[in-house]
Structure 1
Amino acid sequence: MTITLQDVAMILALPLRGHAVTSRTETPGWHAQVQQLFGIPLNIEQGQGGKKKQNGIPLSWLSQNFSHLDDDAEPWRVECYAHAYILHLLGGVLFPDAGGDIASAIWIPLVANLGDLGRFSWGSAVLAWTYRQLCEACCCQAPSSNMSGCVLLIQMWMWLRLPVRRPKWRQSFTPWPYNEPDMKKTVAYIFESTATAHAHRDVAYKHYVNEMDCLQPQHIEWLPYHTNEASSLTLNSMCNRDSDYFMYQCPLICFWAVEYHLPHRVMRQFGKKQDWPVEDISTGVELHK
């Protein structure tokens, strides 16, 4: 089993069609770009030898300076807040790194032109980034190591498919306030109001491992988007707009992270018979250099 482009679309309603999310990774002069985008300077604390401690914008700085927009704000200020919101979404939700509080400077040139954002395949980029971060997490050994990637996507994927510590389905839903087709809910709305589980990390880990070890094929929800709960939702138009891409066997690109989308390995997730043996496509060391 694995997360696929179908899951990204159904859970996050991100476009799969479009240009690859990539650009130059060198970001000279990004401080000046920040002031141009937001109208205020970003004062980065200096480390030893005058080196910057991070190459990006602290999410806490964005929250502190752009948390409230007046109803009568001028258009230029509304645009500044739009830049801040999208940058916070990219760095804090869709493409977080293990640092936790930084939106990388590589996003600044993309965010600068709001009109171009719709041209990119954000769904494939999120999946590429998440695959890469999961791969790197498997190599971490330090007790303080963190996992990165789109945790929201991973969490919803697990809850939709696996019974391990899954919260109960909602029996009723809060009325959705938006009527535009591209602003409607996604399948993740099933868990719109669930109780937060609290447990000691080490104890919870042992419980999760034990439950995972006991899983059998009949315990898996192989087709979560065909359940009665999911079918009862009026979904965002983006969830199925790019359904032709759900089973594409293709590279996924997010800047330096290049991963393969290999749905032929998990055909049961699409309601199809799994071929065996599966075509061998290397996703090892060479891909991750």
Structure 2
Amino acid sequence: MSYLEQARFGSAALVRFSDLRYDLLSALVERWRPETHTFHFPCGEYTVTLEDVAIQLGLPIDGSPVTGVSSFTDPTALCRELLGDSLVDGESNFTGLQFTWLKAKFGQLSATATEGELMCAARAYIMHIVRGVLMPDANNDKVHLMYLPLLADLSTVSSYSWGSIVLAVLYRELCRVTNPDVVDMSGCLTLLQSWTLYRMPFLASVSDQPYVYPLLNRPKITNVVPSSAYVDSHIWCTNAPIINFNMVERYHGDRVLRQFGCIQPIPDPPCEVGEVHSMNKRGKLMLDWGIKHQKFVALWNDRLRRRPQMVMTTDPQPSLEYIQWYYSCGKPYILGGQSTVIPPARAAT
């Protein structure tokens, strides 16, 4: 645990899965807009933000993007160096580590384990957290090897924006499942459901700004949130691309300023990253994604200057100007793009 805490994965290691409400998640998907990466509700735009990732998962959100080389000429040597062991010799050209292998090798540690063995086990545990907690996929029981080199020095793991990869994968999955032919969904659905219950008063009796502003009224929540979760609050509302190796998604914190207790002005048109939205890792051996996506990396590195002007308010209601713009440019209704009254008989079916 000391190594996990040093890497700022200690809180994520404590996450326990709860039963998912698929009806609720499906309703959210119907409100998701791929062009803005926000949910369009009648009251305005909302989304899962870096604030939610930092406070609910405890992950670092500021720092270097999680990127680099995604394939290796000698994965066996890499695993032996950083995990102290590797898959059987016949598996000499693998790209991912199976959960069953990780559990078999590191599920039990000797009471006399050396520091080196403890560090290898900590890396294996973080690899398991990356796929099993941060971006689970029911159709894939492996974690990609590309994350392992970033764990070589456990004292520098927290210098990466691990929280960004959670949102990048979740945003990508929400966009994918807006296709009515898609029947499954991956990503950190535990975070998505928890965010929903915190943010929507009609689902759970929690007011707006549940983490910061109702501190006096909700001590049971704030008492368990470590102070480190607020360290990077200065980038919660930035407008920048978030990066996970080949994956680049746009983060629009400036479109949901009411979530941070601020007045929401009419936002600028959303930025596009269309040229990389369908890019995958297949056939791109030894490609350094940090170089491939250097213009997006530069925008992320400029995240502090990409924050909007923020005006705090005690009234979370949207302005009349914003509502007029939103109802003309947004998509707050599911049926036909306009307010629709569903007859009781039809609603019952």
Give the TM-score normalised by the residue count of structure 2.
0.58
Checking the alignment, whether the CA contact within 8 Å between 1:137 and 1:148 is kept in structure 2 is no
Of residues 234, 244, 248, the one that matches 2:238 is 248
Q: How far apart, in 1, do the equivalents of 2:179 and 2:138 lie?
A: 13
Gaps of at least 5 residues in structure 1 are 170-219
| 1:77-92 map, 5 Å | 77-92=117-132
Of residues 19, 25, 30, the one that matches 2:64 is 19
Quote the residue 2:108 is aligned against.
68
Q: How far apart, in 2, do the equivalents of 1:44 and 1:149 lie?
A: 32
Checking the alignment, whether the CA contact within 8 Å between 2:247 and 2:276 is kept in structure 1 is no
Quote the residue 2:260 is aligned against.
270
Letter in 1 for 2:262: K
Of residues 254, 270, 290, the one that matches 1:281 is 270
Secondary structure at 2:249 match in 1: strand
Shift of 1:163: 5.3
Q: Does 1:156 align with 2:194?
A: yes
Q: How far apart, in 1, do the equivalents of 2:52 and 2:114 lie?
A: 38
124-133 or 55-64, which moves further after superposition? 124-133
Secondary structure at 1:160 match in 2: helix
Deviations 1:23-75 (A, max 9, x none): 012233213322333333313988xxxx97x7310112211221122332122
Q: How far apart, in 2, do the equivalents of 1:136 and 1:164 lie?
A: 27
Gaps of at least 5 residues in structure 2 are 1-45, 279-349
Of residues 165, 169, 173, the one that matches 1:129 is 169
Determine what percentage of the aligned residue pairs are the same residue.
34
Bigger helix fraction: 1
- 1:248–1:39 distance in 2 versus 1, CA, 3 Å: same
Shift of 1:256: 1.3
Shift of 1:97: 3.7
Quote the residue 2:218 is aligned against.
229
Shift of 1:11: 1.0
Q: How far apart, in 2, do the equivalents of 1:138 and 1:98 lie?
A: 18
Give the TM-score normalised by the residue count of structure 1.
0.70
Q: How far apart, in 2, do the equivalents of 1:164 and 1:147 lie?
A: 25
- 1:232–1:93 distance in 2 versus 1, CA, 3 Å: closer
Letter in 2 for 1:37: L
| 1:177-256 map, 5 Å | 221-225=207-211, 226-227=213-214, 228-229=217-218, 232-256=222-246
Of residues 139, 155, 165, the one that matches 2:179 is 139
Quote the residue 1:203 is aligned against.
none
Secondary structure at 2:97 match in 1: strand
Letter in 2 for 1:229: R
Residue correspondences, number: 229
Q: How far apart, in 1, do the equivalents of 2:124 and 2:77 lie?
A: 15
- 1:165–1:59 distance in 2 versus 1, CA, 3 Å: farther
Shift of 1:244: 0.8
- 1:112–1:256 distance in 2 versus 1, CA, 3 Å: same
Shift of 1:288: 1.2
- 1:103–1:164 distance in 2 versus 1, CA, 3 Å: farther
Shift of 1:138: 2.5
- 1:165–1:58 distance in 2 versus 1, CA, 3 Å: farther
Which contiguous aligned blocks of 4+ residues in structure 1 show a shift greater than 6 angstroms? none
What is the alpha-carbon root mean square deviation over aligned residues? 2.7
Deviations 1:199-241 (A, max 9, x none): xxxxxxxxxxxxxxxxxxxxx8432213322565152122100
